[in-house]
Amino acid sequence: MSSKNLDTLHHVGIIVSDMEKSKTFYSRLLGVSAKTDTTISGPALWKQTEVDGAAMRIVFLEFDNGSTGLELIEFVNKKGEQANTRQNTTGSMHFAFKVGDAKEVYAQMVQEGYEFIAEPQHMDQDYGQMKGYTFAYLRGPDGELVEIIENPGFLDKLMG
């Protein structure tokens, strides 16, 4: 299968430890309410998750005018271990939201109570093809990384 058949990012999924805490955090962050809130279990789920007998509560939040979603998943039984979310851990991930002014959005979010790892950092000429963008990371309720990024136009240049 050619990657050309994968044309649209549909959603990002996060396994969470406390659904209510995560739902509140991301609903507030994105300014949206839950589109779906359901609990499921069954053989198809067990096969794909590789967790026999698992039951999951799924909350789906839509943003970006409904074209992208954030899926919050809590295993209501058979909970796993807390993931190592250090940024240098192979396989760790983050997701980013494009903003017009990273410093302004950062200041507003700090005022609203969000805690960032550091203030926005700007990439200057020492960063080669990454030059010109400003970014900051914050952590979600389970330590997952969320990025705000200004001027991510370098991706267009890198990806042709």
Domain boundaries along the sequence of the chain: 7-75, 94-159
Fold match flag (7-75 vs 94-159): yes
Per-residue pLDDT at 152: 66
List the pLDDT tens digit at each of the 160 positions of the chain: 455 677 778 889 999 999 999 999 999 988 888 889 999 999 999 999 999 999 999 999 987 777 788 999 999 998 888 887 788 888 889 989 888 899 999 999 999 999 999 999 998 878 887 888 899 999 999 999 999 998 766 565 555 5
CATH of domain 94-159: 3.10.180.10
Interatomic CA distance for residues 136 and 117, integer angstroms: 7
Per-residue pLDDT at 157: 56
Mapping DSSP onto H, E and C, the string for the chain reads: CCHHHCCCCCEEEEECCCHHHHHHHHHHHHCCCEEEEEEEECHHHHHHHCCCCCEEEEEEEEECCCCEEEEEEEECCCCCCCCCCCCCCCCCCEEEEEECCHHHHHHHHHHCCCCECCCCEECCHHHHHHCCCEEEEEECCCCCEEEEEECCCHHHHHHC
User: What is the pTM (predicted TM-score) of this model?
Assistant: 0.84
Per-residue pLDDT at 54: 94
54: CB partners within 8 A, 6+ apart: 41, 45, 46, 75, 77, 78
CATH of domain 7-75: 3.10.180.10
